[in-house]
Amino acid sequence: MVDGVDLKKEIPMWSLGIEGKSIARVFTFADFQQAFDFMTLCAQYAEKIDHHPDWPNSWSKVSVKLTTHSAGALTALDVQLAKAMDAFAYQVKHD
């Protein structure tokens, strides 16, 4: 739990890091363009909330790890960004 949030319920596709200070998910898309569109939407949102993911991209896959470095822990900002990323992935795949 983070700030009273049940992670398994709120962001079921994400896995909690072994240390309990991060969450991770791999997003897979049809091609590079979809992956790039996803990353663009996420980057714009991350700038808006001033919270940025750790993420490499390889063609159609984007591996994401979220943690709040300044807190040295998982925070509500990570959950907020994870939820937004889930929505952006759905949007990109269904446009």
What is the per-residue pLDDT across 60-82, written as a single tens digit (0 to 9) for each? 999 999 999 998 889 999 999 99
What is the per-residue pLDDT across 43-60, written as a single tens digit (0 to 9) for each? 999 999 999 999 999 999
Q: Does domain 7-94 match CATH 3.30.1360.20?
A: yes
Structural domain boundaries in the chain: 7-94
* pLDDT the model gives residue 72: 85
pLDDT over threshold 70, residue 1: no
Q: Is there a contact between 62 and 55 (Cβ–Cβ < 8 Å)?
A: yes
pTM, to two decimals: 0.94
